[in-house]
Chain A
Amino acid sequence: MAQMTMVQAINDALRNELKNDPNVLLFGEDVGVNGGVFRVTDGLQKEFGEDKVFDTPLAESGIGGLAIGLSLQGFRPVPEIQFFGFVFEVMDSIAGQMSRMRYRSGGRYNMPITVRSPFGGGVHTPELHSDSLEGLMAQTPGLKVVIPSSPYDAKGLLISSIRDNDPVIFLEHLKLYRAFREEVPEEEYTLPIGKAAVKREGSDLSIITYGAMVHESLKAAEELEKEGHSVEVIDLRTIMPLDVDTIIASVEKTGRAIVVQEAQRQAGIASNVISEIMERAVLSLEAPVLRVAAADTVYAFSQAESVWLPNYKDVIETAKKVLNF
C-alpha cells in the first residue's frame, strides 16, 4: 500500500494497463514528454516508449477520430482531452461515432475507448476549463460515464474502464487531483462500473452525489450529525449507468433524499436520479426530493466561482428543508 493522490493513482492505473495489455495506447496533447499538463501521464512515455504513449497534433476532433480508427485496428485507445471544456471540439467523434459503432455495425465493431479528461471547478481556470459537461455524455446512449471522487476509486475504476469493451468517458475532477492522499494498493484491482459507494451510512436522509461534491456532502453530513441528523452519503461513481439499486435501497431506508451536483440545475444528472426515485420509491418518501446545483449560467468567470459553486453550506441548507419538511 502507498499513499497516493488522485493524480498518482491514475498514473498508476495507466501504467498497470500499459503493462497488462500490449494494445493499450495513450495519446493526446502534451501527454508524452511533458507528462500531461497535470502530470497525470508523467514518466509513461519514458517507460513505455513513443509507440505506446504519444503526443498528437493539436486537434480534439483528430484525437477522437484517431481513437475510433485505432479501435478498428484492434487497439485499446486511452485518449486524453486536455480539459473537458474542449469536448465540444470532439463531440461528433464521441456522441456521433464511437457511441454508436457497436449498434451501427450490428455488433461487428466495438469501441474499447476510454476518453480521460479533467473537469470541474474551483481552481481559477480560464473559461471552458472547468465546466461540468457530464450531462451531455450521460444522455448519449452507447457511452458509460465514470467520475471518481477519491484516489482509490480512481485507480480501480480506470482499470475497469480501460478493460471495458465499450466507450467510457472517465472524468477526473481538477480539484481532487491533489486535494488529498489515501491508501492505494500498488497491485492491480478493479471496481465495477455502474456501482455506487455508500460513503457514510445514515438513517434520516440520503445525499446522492458524485465527483467533488461527495466531499462537500460528507462535510455537510458531519455538521448535520452534530445537530442530531443521521445522514447517508452515496457516491454514484458512475453516472451512466446509474446504480438504481443502491439509490433506491437508501431512499427506502431514510425516506428523504437530496441530490447534489456541481453542474447547473438545468444540466447534469440530478434530474435523472430524482426521476428514478419518483418512479421506483415515491411511496417511501416523507418529503420532496430536492437538488443542490449551480445557477443556470455558463460556468462562472473565475472571480465569481467560489460563490457560484455549490458548497457544504448549500447542502446543509437544502438538507434541512427536507429534514424539516
Chain B
Amino acid sequence: MAGKAQKAAQFDVKEQFEAVENQFQTLQILNEEGEVVNEAEMPELSDEQLQELMKRMVYTRILDQRSISLNRQGRLGFYAPTAGQEASQLASQFALEKEDFILPGYRDVPQLIWHGLPLSQAFLFSRGHFKGNQIPEGVNVISPQIIIGAQIIQAAGVALGMKKRGAKSVAITYTGDGGASQGDFYEGINFAGAFKAPAIFVVQNNRFAISTPVEKQSAAKTIAQKAVAAGIPGIQVDGMDPLAVYKAVSDARERAVNGEGPTLIETLTYRYGPHTMAGDDPTRYRTSDLDNEWERKDPLVRFRKFLEGKKLWNEDMENEVIERAKEDIKNAIKEADAEPKQKVTDLMEIMYEEMPNNLKEQYEIYKEKESK
C-alpha cells in the first residue's frame, strides 16, 4: 500500500498536464484594440516595415475577396479562402529572407505571392493549369500541396539539404490544425529535430479541418506542445496578431540559421469564409457566434488601429493599396487568360526527362487529334 502511494506521488498526471499547460501560453503583443500588451517581445521593425506589412495584409484581403467573386463567375477554379488568416500567413512570410524556402499547403497561396510568385501564376494554379506550378527561377517555393501533411516531412528534407550545403537559410512549411494529425507531421518535426535541420513548422490552427473542430483532432490542449515529444522548441502565438507571428517566426529563423534546429509554431487563427469554394457550407458546423467572436480579433483591424495610433496609417494609404490590388488582379487575370489552354501533349512532355516509348506513341496520336 505504502509503495503504491509513493508511486502516485512521483507521477501525478494532473501536475504533469498543468506543467505542460503553463509552458504553452499564447504569445500576444498586440491585443484586439491594437494596444501593445507585451513591450518586451516587440520585434524590431522600422516604420516602413510596419507599413509594408499592413499594405500586404490589406492587399491580400482584397485578393481574397476578388478571388472569391472570380471563382463564383467561373473565372477561377480551386480556391481556398484566406480572410482572417492574414497575420498568420503574411507576418510569418515577412520574417523570411528571399533564400528561405516555402513549402505551402493549398491555402497558403498568399505567402507564395509575397515570396515572389507572380499573381497570374497563382490564378493559373487555381484554374488547374500546369503553368501555375512552373515556379520562376529564384523564387524559393514549391506549389501548394494538396495531400495534407506531405509538405511537412519534405520541409525537413529541404532544411537538411540547406544544412549540408552550409546555407544560412531555412525551410518553412505550413499546415493546419487538421494537418497536425497526419503521420507526416510527427515524422517531419521528429526528423528535423533529429537532424537539427533549419526548419520552421507553422501550424495555422483555424479551429476547423473542413467541418471537424480542432478539439476532435487530439487530446492535447495545444498543437505547440507536440514539439516537446520531438525534442524541439514549440510556441503558440495569437495568429491574429501580426507582431506576435512575426516575432515567433523571426526568433525561430534566427535559431535555425545559428544551427539550433527547428521550431514548431502554432498560430491561433480563423478562416472567415468556407473551407474552399467547392460547395462547403460552414453553417453546418460553425455558429455565427463563433464567427463573430473571431471577427472581433481581426488582424487588419487591430494592426490598423496600432498604426493609426502611431500616425503611420490613414484612409488614403489604405485606398491606394486597395486600388493597386484591384489593378494588379485585373492585369494578372488578363495574363492568365492569355495563356494557351494546356493540351494533353503538354502534359506528356512534362512526365519524364525523356519520353518512354508508350508516351511517344500516344504523343503522335494526340498531336494528330489536337491539330484538328
Contacts and interface: CB of A to CB of B under 8 A. Distances in A.
A307 interface: yes
Interface stretch (B44-52, B194-202, B236-244, B344-352): B344-352
Nearest to A57: B181
A265 B212 contact: no
Given A30-B210, A125-B78, A302-B128, A266 B146 contact: no
Interface stretch (B265-273, B305-313, B358-366): B358-366
A265 B346 CA distance: 18
Nearest to B279: A37
Given A58-B181, A126-B128, A33 B347 contact: no
A48 interface: no
A312 interface: no
Given A29-B210, A33-B285, A34-B285, A128 B344 contact: no
Nearest to A54: B216
Contact of A30 (B148, B211, B362): B211
Contact of B347 (A58, A124, A266, A301): A301
B344 A308 contact: yes
Contacts of A57: 178, 181, 212, 216-218
A29 B128 CA distance: 25
Interface string A29-57: 11011110100000000000000000101
A40 B169 CA distance: 46
Given A59-B181, A127-B146, A303 B211 contact: no
Contacts of A305: 128
B147 A304 contact: no
Given A58-B181, A61-B183, A295-B344, A302 B77 contact: yes
B14 interface: no
A215 interface: no
Contact of B362 (A126, A296, A301, A307): A296
B341 interface: yes
Contacts of A85: 146-147
Nearest to A304: B342
Contacts of B17: none
Nearest to A299: B347
A179 interface: no
B123 to A, nearest CB: 12
- The number of chain B residues touching the other chain, given as a range, is 35 or more
Contacts of B370: 307
A174 B342 CA distance: 23
A159 B229 CA distance: 43
Nearest to B184: A89
Interface of B, secondary structure class, is loop
Given A266-B358, A295-B366, A58 B343 contact: no
A249 interface: no
A298 interface: yes
Interface residues on A, range: 35 or more
Contacts of A32: 211-212
A29 B209 contact: yes
A127 B78 CA distance: 10
Contacts of B106: 126
B127 interface: yes
Contacts of B346: 304
Contacts of B284: 33-35
A3 B284 CA distance: 26
B152 to A, nearest CB: 12
Contact of A307 (B183, B210, B344): B344
A300 interface: yes
Given A295-B347, A297-B348, A301-B342, A58 B217 contact: yes
A55 B347 contact: no
Contacts of B351: 296-298
Interface string A116-146: 0000000011111100000000000000000
Contacts of A55: 211-212, 216
A302 B77 CA distance: 9
B206 to A, nearest CB: 13
Interface string B146-158: 1111000000000
Nearest to B183: A61
Contacts of A288: none
Interface in B114-141: 127-130
Interface of A: 29-30, 32-35, 37, 55, 57-59, 61-62, 85-86, 88-89, 124-129, 265-266, 295-298, 300-305, 307-308
Q: Which 6 A-B pairs have the closest CB atoms?
A: A302-B128, A34-B211, A58-B178, A57-B181, A297-B347, A58-B181
